[in-house]
């Protein structure tokens, strides 16, 4: 075991250019992963961290993996990988209406080099500082590059935004511009010819930012407590993730999306591109004006894209959430002229 004093950050003078043989696992943790914490009773350096939850709050816990070759290219900028490893977890807190608080990081690293880890660590802590998250522990092992982050957040008891709360008549909303990350990825993979009309320089830049530095919608998630009936973040694609809300809430929906791109790759990306980390949420119509005003306050587009048209049974606060299967025709999508659209795909699934 190592003690907290052993994990005090070293002075910059002892920084190695590359990690030498006598640079130990604990030197590595100390160098790259120990930072001052804001709200943690006992952090990195013991067998476990000690946290003091805020009275009257529930803890929200979520885990996400980032695997080289699956979630990021081997030559991707390590700062971006560090940012995204935490950001996708922070996004889950946003989708629950929770305040992100603490995270652990399990890192599997091939023979690490100083510049790579230094940039990864800067990216990770840039995100941690932006969203006030303390890194409180983890594990470090040699192997194919993989990161697993577990995040903990807090929400006043009973106020979490769940997937199973959508009700008949609720409006369906989405934040930001879904599809950008998929367009950025297509550009990087040399599939840009599929994007018609082609992206201009400014649009391309926004798409690459969406892909590499997703901005978790924490402020939106917090503001939606008491307004939204259900919420989810878009990691696998708008249709797929909205499908999870419908399955959990036993609902059907009709979408008519303002400014949906014309048929083609841009439309497919909007409907089924993953990795955007925007929020989809449902809310009773009585809150529509408040939500529209929220868009101005947060300086974030919030678009009403449809409504819940049916519900097969009273949805209950199921104890285990829902991984139920969505019936074929539960989601009808109309174009601007009211014609039914049949999307070419609905979203991403690691096992399909
Ligand atoms: P243990 O022997 O209890 O598994 P370790 O020796 O693996 O502990 O880790 C020592 C301390 O460093 C622990 O407090 C652990 O939580 C922390 N730690 C290990 N790897 C990381 C990491 N990648 N990021 C943050 N903290 C880490
Ligand atoms: Mg360990």
Distance in Å, CA 135 to ligand 1 centroid: 11
CA 323-324-327 angle, to 5 degrees, is 140
Distance separating alpha carbons of residues 28 and 140, to the nearest angstrom:
9
Would you state the structure tokens that stand for residue 331, as one six-digit string? 């989601």
Q: Which residues pair with 148 in a beta bridge?
A: 65, 106
Cα(293)–Cα(116) distance, rounded to whole angstroms? 43
| Segments of the chain with pLDDT less than 50 | 1-15, 314-317, 319-320
Q: Which pTM value belongs to this model?
A: 0.91
Closest Cα partner for 235 from 143, 335, 348?
A: 348
Ligand 1 centroid – CA 105 distance (Å): 9
pLDDT at residue number 312: 84
Ligand 1 pocket test target in 5, 138, 147 with most atoms within 8 Å of CB: 138
What pLDDT score was predicted for residue 318? 52
And the tokens for 338?
Answer: 């009211």
Structure tokens at 214: 């997703």
Tell me how crowded residue 248 is: count the other CB atoms within 10 A of its CB: 22
Ligand 2 center to residue 187 CA distance, Å?
Answer: 39
d(CA 42, CA 40): 6
Question: What residues are in contact with ligand 1 under a 6 Å CB criterion?
Answer: 2, 29, 33, 44-47, 105, 107, 135, 137-140
Residues sharing a CB contact under 8 Å with residue 231, sequence separation 6 or more, in sequence order: 95, 96, 97, 161, 162, 163, 221, 224, 245, 279, 280, 281, 282
Which residue owns the Cα nearest ligand 1 atom 19? 139
Supply the pLDDT for residue 13.
39
Question: Which is it for strands 251-256 and 331-334: parallel, antiparallel or unpaired?
Answer: parallel
Minimum-distance ligand to the CA of 45? Answer: 1
Q: Which of 140, 141, 147 to mutate to test the pocket of ligand 1 (most atoms within 8 A of CB)?
A: 140
Q: What is the pLDDT of residue 12?
A: 40
pLDDT in tens, 249-275: 999 999 999 999 998 999 999 999 989
Instruction: Say whether the peptide bond before residue 197 is cis (omega within 30 degrees of 0).
Output: yes
pLDDT 10s digits, 222-236: 999 999 999 999 999
Give the pLDDT of residue 352. 53
Nearest of 183, 233, 188, 181 to residue 210 by alpha carbon = 181
Q: What is the pLDDT of residue 190?
A: 92
* Cα-to-chain-centroid distance, residue 327: 26
Q: How far apart are CA 31 and CA 48, in angstroms?
A: 19
Residue bearing the CA closest to ligand 1, atom 17: 137
Residue 10 confidence (pLDDT) = 42
| pLDDT recorded at residue 202 | 96
Nearest ligand 1 atom to alpha carbon 48? 14
Per-residue pLDDT at 1: 40
Neighbour tally for 134: CB within 10 Å:
21
Contact partners, residue 57, CB within 8 Å, separation at least 6: 154, 155, 156, 157
**What whole-number distance in Å separates Cα of residue 254 and Cα of residue 306?**
6
């Amino acid at each position: 075991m190592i003690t907290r004093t052993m994990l005090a950050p070293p002075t910059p003078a002892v920084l190695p250019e590359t990690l030498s043989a006598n640079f130990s696992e604990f030197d590595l943790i100390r160098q790259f992963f120990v930072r001052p914490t804001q709200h943690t009773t006992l952090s990195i350096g013991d067998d476990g961290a000690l946290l003091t939850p805020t009275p009257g709050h529930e803890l929200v816990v979520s885990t996400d993996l980032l695997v080289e070759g699956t979630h990021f290219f081997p030559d991707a900028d390590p700062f971006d990988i560090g940012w995204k490893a935490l950001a996708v977890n922070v996004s889950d807190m946003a989708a629950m209406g929770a305040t992100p608080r603490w995270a652990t990081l399990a890192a599997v690293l091939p023979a690490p080099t100083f510049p790579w880890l230094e940039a990864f660590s800067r990216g990770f802590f840039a995100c941690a500082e932006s969203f006030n998250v303390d890194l409180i522990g983890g594990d470090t092992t040699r192997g194919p590059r993989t990161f697993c982050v577990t995040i903990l957040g807090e929400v006043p008891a009973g106020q979490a935004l769940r997937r199973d709360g959508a009700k008949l008549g609720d409006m369906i909303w989405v934040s930001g511009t879904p599809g950008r990350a998929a367009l950025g990825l297509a550009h990087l993979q040399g599939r840009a010819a599929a994007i018609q009309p082609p992206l201009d320089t400014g649009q391309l830049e926004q798409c690459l930012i969406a892909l590499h530095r997703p901005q978790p919608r924490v402020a939106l998630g917090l503001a939606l407590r008491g307004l939204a009936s259900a919420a989810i973040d878009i990691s696998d694609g708008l249709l797929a993730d909205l499908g999870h809300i419908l399955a959990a809430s036993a609902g059907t929906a009709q979408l008519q999306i303002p400014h949906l791109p014309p048929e083609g790759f841009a439309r497919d990306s909007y409907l089924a591109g993953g990795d955007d980390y925007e929020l989809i949420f449902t809310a009773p119509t009585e809150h529509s004006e408040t939500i529209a005003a929220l868009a101005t306050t947060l300086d974030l587009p919030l678009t009403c894209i449809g409504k819940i048209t049916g519900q097969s049974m009273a949805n209950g606060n199921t104890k285990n959430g829902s991984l139920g299967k969505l019936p074929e025709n539960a989601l009808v999508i109309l174009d601007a002229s009211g014609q039914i659209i049949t999307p070419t795909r609905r979203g991403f699934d690691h096992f399909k």
